Amino acid sequence: MNLVLFGPPGAGKGTQAGLLQTQRGWPQLSTGEMLRAAARDGTDLGRKTKDIIDRGELVSDDIVVAIVADRLCQDACTKGAVFDGFPRTIAQARALDSMLASCGKQIDRVIELKVNDDVLISRVEQRLRAGGTHRADDTPETLRHRLGVYYRNTAPLLDYYREQGKLAVVDGMAPVPEVAKAIAQIIAGAAPAH
């Protein structure tokens, strides 16, 4: 099963992908995490992309497709994977489709976690109030910018997957276990595509 978790920044894609990885052993392919790891390791790629990420802009399609390609061959083309934060543009979705097609696979399901903007903003504010370390792009100002980027560049992908009959929608404002349950039902084929 190759699954895409879709939704605005901070919707909980990473949390749910992590649960699927722990509970089902499906590898979580998070391009955000891969890019942050490159920045932590101080690689050329990490240095090139850190400012872009901190500003809340999208890293170029070429770079993102290249970093996901290796893991894709290992995971998505064998046991399947959960994509979290990828694809984020139509070009990335097309690249993903053709990489999967080359090993006879496809994206089976796309699950949108729907969360209102004001809830996303208040989640960030709560995290900031709670203190501790936080991502440079995890501030209300940058989140507003990332939301704009999401609606402009990423949300159009919903139509791309809806037309293929692969899209299902989940209320991402429900508590984490309920969201996980709704996702499990979709995976089991219990919920119809939208």
Query: Interface with ligand ADP by CB under 6 A: which residues?
Result: 9-10, 13, 31-32, 35, 52-53, 56-59, 64, 85-86, 88, 92, 137, 146
Any residues with CB less than 8 A from the CB of 24 and at least 6 apart, and which? none
* C-alpha Rg value of the chain to the nearest Å: 16
CA distances (Å), origin 43, targets 31, 40, 72, 183? 15, 8, 21, 36
Report the residue number whose CB is nearest to ligand ADP: 32
Smallest gap from residue 31 Cβ to ligand ADP (A): 3
Compute the distance between CA of residue 58 and CA of residue 64 in angstroms, rounded to an integer. Answer: 9
The yes-or-no answer on residue 55 being catalytic is no
Q: How many CA atoms lie within 13 A of 10 on its CB side?
A: 26
**Shortest Å, Cβ 173 to ligand ADP:** 16
Active-site hit among 50, 109, 146, 166? 146
Question: Which residue lies nearer to ligand ADP by CB, 114 or 185?
Answer: 114
- Asked about 88 being catalytic, the answer comes back as yes
Is the Cβ of residue 62 or residue 185 nearer to ligand ADP in the bound state? 62
Catalytic residue positions, numbered:
13, 88, 127, 135, 146
